[in-house]
Structure 1
Amino acid sequence: MALTDITRVEIQKAMEEYDRLGREAFLARHGFRPARRYLLVHLGRRYDSKAIVRAAHGYLPGRRSLAAAEFSGGAQHAVALLRSLGFSVAQDPPEDALTHEQLVRRITELTVNRSAGRPALYKPITLLWAMGRALRGEPRLLDWTRTEQELATLLRRHGAHGERPRPDYPVASLCRDGMWTLPDHTGEVPTAHGDAGLRRWFAEHRPRGGPARPVHDLFRHSPVTRLAVLDGVLGTFFDGIDPAPLLADVGLQDPDGDPGEAAGPLPQQPDRWVVTAAEYERGCRLIEQREARLAGERDTRTTHRLKRSRAARYLVLRRSGGRCESPRCTGQPADTTDRRQPILEVDHVLDLALGGRDHPSQMVALCPNCHAVKTRGSTREELRGLLLRVAAERHRDMRPQAAPPRP
């Protein structure tokens, strides 16, 4: 065993494997249990430190991954190595650490008041406000005076189902859900019921608070997860409501009014239009989770089912590298949008109304000319078949490569 030979390169390869497989599969593959005390923190994501170091050893030339028993000193040696390489390691990690899939599932399955026959928007509005703050890099925790002021304004403007401007309701309820934290308060937070008692508790304690750290970290650092959360929140709670004014108020709406880019602007330089294999794979899992959720619903309203996935659009645009994906493209416009973005349109090769999937494997990025030919050109049927093959090939090529074999 030679831990000193491990560099940041091998650690990053192990983290990519962790992202590709997911935590449970990664730990099972390397024979480790979940970390009890130390987690490697990188770009807002958390990794089991000892398992990462073990896997990293297998990426050294001619070496294999290490068994748990082969660590002398165990986690302490792994932590020392990671810190010496410049990585951050958190001690006593929170038990409520979330995967990307768990976050989206928990948010779309939130329990909300439906006494009026429609879902109350208290908690969805609060989470979208927190997401916008995280995206802008604002502090996770905020004093109660500002929380109360900002949320009351949003609830007053966008509470389409009769919500009162009472931030204490969603904050108390989200605390009970494990999605919000009031770190300076000890003991239980009151339940989100009643009126005078709840209002009095928040008036007396005026707690500093914000989203739980794992929630904030995923909001902050993962564009495709933000978009998947938006897909879930808007599709679950805002059916029949135009979300654009709310998204603009919380900073999740594109300046040009396109909610497909609500997670922030795409890179301005063409050579930065990239998406890692791990991010692409994670985004596809989130999209497939959404597909399964919609397929399992008994709601027969077609308008709900035909809403486009922001996460899918994001992945296709990033996958394209800023260039039209049609092999027959004779040259996309040299001009750009006001935001210096390539002029591209994301197209469902097979229309959703005709059974196509809202999934990158059946979507392509096209310049306006190629999109017009595909839509109404005399060769559109032939081009449609070609683009289906292209979409499938681009999707396959973006999937992460198999990890090196383990002896």
Structure 2
Amino acid sequence: MSLTDITGEAVLAAIAEFDRLGRDAFLKKYGFDSSRWYWLRYDGGRYDSKAIAGAAHGHLPDRSPLAAKDFSGGIGHAVTVLRRLGFEVISEPGPAPIGHRTANEIASVIGDLRPALVDGKPMLKQAVVLLWAIGRARAGEDRLLGWADTVTALAPLLETHRRDGERRHGRPDYPIAALHRAGLWDLPGRTDVPRAHGDTGVKAWFAEHAPDGGLPQSVYVLARESGHARVQMVEAIAARFFDDFEVSGLLTAVGLYDQDVATDEGIVGHEPIDPKADYARWCDTIARREAATYGRRRTRIAKDPIRLSLARRAVLVRSEGRCENPQCAQPAPDVNDRGEPLLEIDHIDQLSDGGRDQPFQMIALCPNCHRVKTYGRSRQRLIPVLAQTARDLHDRWISSAT
């Protein structure tokens, strides 16, 4: 009983079984843990290489599957055997379980999505489904939704927001099957979800089973509660799918294009664990968003509510609850229902005068100082002071970020 006995046909049979059972059920059946580093890539899918090799042995005539303890999954054994049979095996860290993923990891998974192309550009259906679900999470709607309601909600969005050359139909089954396979969609209790390959089988499966579904729990919680995680997901989707395509209309339709989109929800009194590191990350995202176009016209690039929302949040955290006018520096008069200090976040130079949605050009002011900056006789003397203060505070926070 040796791993070197397996054949290409046996490996393909194991891959087909993996697709039929689903990853979790396949690994459980054969007693393998998730791959930590090596993955077999085949026909657009990624498979745990050691588990596939062990299962393939059981697809040989009169042979049993190999257990994990029977052989090594590394470069000297399973990887070499699979490559010798002509299969592609890649080396990269395995994903964390979906329940423990961070916003960075989720964004990375989104970036690795492989949608079908039309005229060399990614089709938008997976993006539409994800953005719709993130918008639902932000609004506090239920994580899981019945299939009939899912179709009703998504059909008009899929029909409206598409590239030339994409089918007009509003069926969400195909993109949801692809997202489920990528770990970005939860269909509880379903281990037999077909791959997004071949239209008839996918359509028939969803019509027969009509599964409840939605974002995985950890993704939903982040999209619901963390403003920065929410924006990070939106940015990852925009970068993967919308580099040359106007996305603001879709974001507006799903409730993700306003000046509060980067605000935390449902976490009263929440304080960042490392505010300076968060500030630096927010500034990086703001800079990337300012440089990107995502198909927008120049007038829309100048007025970007997502960028403004991030910038306002960054300045509010930087203020540490005090007016940033050095001639005042008084604590905010109160906090709002989310526990945020009641300070006015203002552009030092208005956008019409060349100002930008960048924290180094914005300032947090108490209501009195905001009125002085806007209407006071001394505003022409105050504004240069505020400009220098904002720049100094920004540089100090960036340089001390860990």
In the superposition, the TM-score normalised over structure 1's length comes to 0.55
1:182 Cα shift?
1.4
Name the amino acid aligned to 1:313: R
1:167 Cα shift?
0.5
1:197 pairs with 2:201: yes
Tell me, which stretches of 5 or more residues in structure 2 are unaligned?
1-35, 37-95
CA distance in 2, matches of 1:173, 1:372: 55
1:149 pairs with 2:145: no
The number of equivalent residue pairs is 295
| Corresponding residue number in structure 2 for 1:26 | none
CA distance in 2, matches of 1:210, 1:134: 10
| Corresponding residue number in structure 2 for 1:227 | 231
**Contact kept in structure 2, 1:260 and 1:314, CA below 8 Å:** no
SS at match of 1:111: coil
| One of 243, 259, 268 as aligned partner of 2:248 | 243
Give the 3 Å change call, closer, same or farther, for CA 99–327 of structure 1 in structure 2: same
SS at match of 1:181: coil
| Corresponding residue number in structure 1 for 2:189 | 184
SS at match of 1:145: helix
CA distance in 1, matches of 2:277, 2:220: 21
Give the CA RMSD over aligned residues. Answer: 4.9
Give the 3 Å change call, closer, same or farther, for CA 324–117 of structure 1 in structure 2: farther
Q: Can you list the C-alpha shifts for 1:213-244, whole angstroms capped at 9, x where unaligned?
A: 22122212212211222334345534552525
| One of 212, 221, 230 as aligned partner of 1:217 | 221
| One of 110, 118, 122 as aligned partner of 1:119 | 122
1:142 Cα shift?
1.8
| Corresponding residue number in structure 1 for 2:344 | 344
| Corresponding residue number in structure 2 for 1:278 | 274
SS at match of 1:210: coil
Name the amino acid aligned to 1:225: A
| Corresponding residue number in structure 2 for 1:315 | 314
| Corresponding residue number in structure 2 for 1:288 | 284
Give the 3 Å change call, closer, same or farther, for CA 288–346 of structure 1 in structure 2: same
CA distance in 2, matches of 1:165, 1:288: 36
CA distance in 2, matches of 1:104, 1:287: 17
| Corresponding residue number in structure 2 for 1:252 | 256
CA distance in 1, matches of 2:240, 2:372: 35
Give the 3 Å change call, closer, same or farther, for CA 277–264 of structure 1 in structure 2: closer
CA distance in 2, matches of 1:156, 1:288: 34
CA distance in 2, matches of 1:153, 1:169: 16
| One of 103, 110, 121 as aligned partner of 1:100 | 103
1:197 Cα shift?
2.7
CA distance in 2, matches of 1:216, 1:234: 18
Q: List aligned pairs for 1:7-406, cutoff 5 A.
A: 94=97, 97-159=100-162, 161=164, 162=166, 164-191=169-196, 193-234=197-238, 236-238=240-242, 239-241=244-246, 243-244=248-249, 246-253=250-257, 259-263=258-262, 275-278=271-274, 281-282=277-278, 284-285=280-281, 287-288=283-284, 308=307, 310-320=309-319, 324-328=323-327, 344-347=344-347, 360=359, 363-365=362-364, 367=370, 370=373, 377=380, 383-393=386-396
1:389 Cα shift?
0.8
CA distance in 1, matches of 2:171, 2:395: 48
CA distance in 2, matches of 1:286, 1:343: 19
Name the amino acid aligned to 1:250: V
**Contact kept in structure 1, 2:194 and 2:202, CA below 8 Å:** no
Give the 3 Å change call, closer, same or farther, for CA 385–321 of structure 1 in structure 2: closer
1:106 Cα shift?
2.6
CA distance in 1, matches of 2:265, 2:118: 40
Q: Which moved more, 1:199-208 or 1:95-104?
A: 95-104
Give the 3 Å change call, closer, same or farther, for CA 95–314 of structure 1 in structure 2: closer
**Contact kept in structure 2, 1:283 and 1:312, CA below 8 Å:** no
Give the 3 Å change call, closer, same or farther, for CA 164–385 of structure 1 in structure 2: same
% identical equivalent positions:
33
Tell me, which stretches of 5 or more residues in structure 1 are unaligned?
1-35, 37-92, 254-258, 401-407
Name the amino acid aligned to 2:181: R
Name the amino acid aligned to 1:150: A
1:165 Cα shift?
0.8
